[in-house]
Amino acid sequence: MAIDFEKIQNEIKEISMNFCTGCGGVCENTEIVAFLPGEIDFAADKLKIDKQEFIKKYCNVIQYKNNDIYILKAGICPFLNDQKKCELEEFTCKLICCALYPTIIKLSGKDIEIKIDSIGCPMSHNVDEEFKNKTFKIFENIKDEIPLWWLEFCQEYDEAKYDYEKLEKLRDKQFIELDELKDCIIDKY
């Protein structure tokens, strides 16, 4: 069974907290974001563009354990406008990991853990119980559809702070080597 991105987008509409602009977009200047497997197909379809064109225009590709990991273009998100709002929201295809943040899904040993990112998000103290419960439920419903290799990648690379000046230099490369990505990490959570 595949992740039902349309269903999740409908659920997200009901829970958006809109507090991300309160910190000035800290995560938008220090982190990378990985697309969930299948999410590029969904977003490209919503934007009515070819998948390969979407990848070329908006993504970098990283090989991890013989799998392609797609991240938003290295550096500042190509969908972030001047008001620190995601332009994908109007097409109802905002990346799930962005829309549910600061709720994150990660590996804890061999177990999958869903939690609030109180280390990486300075606004995490504003998360109310309703948002937390609903976002936890969304991740709980899809966690078995997320491949282990994707979770391992995110554990290693998505939960890090990056030197954006270095990262920006990789932006125009279609494929980024893991060593290049590692070289841009300045801190791990």
DSSP code string of 62-82: EEETTEEEEEE-SSS-TTB-T
Dihedral angle over CA of 75, 90, 46, 21, nearest 10: 30
Over residues 16-34, the pLDDT tens digits come to 656 666 676 777 777 899 9
User: What local confidence, expressed as pLDDT, does residue 21 receive?
Assistant: 64
34, β-bridge pairs: 71
* Digit-coded pLDDT (tens) for 85-142: 888 988 899 999 988 999 999 998 889 999 998 888 888 888 889 999 999 999 999 9
Give the pLDDT of residue 173: 95
The pLDDT of residue 136? 96
Whole-Å CA distances, 19 to 93, 101, 138, 166: 19, 10, 19, 28
DSSP SS3 for 186: strand
Sign, Cα dihedral of 52, 40, 120, 81: positive
CB distance 16 to 99 below 8 Å: yes
Residue 151: pLDDT band (50, 70, 90) is very high
Helix ranges, the chain (H) = 5-13, 39-47, 51-58, 96-100, 129-142, 148-153, 164-168, 178-183
pLDDT level of residue 3 (50, 70, 90 thresholds):
very high
Could you report the per-residue pLDDT of 76-96, keeping only the tens digit for each? 888 988 877 888 988 899 999
Q: How many residues does the chain have?
A: 189
Alpha-carbon torsion (10, 11, 15, 18), positive or negative: negative
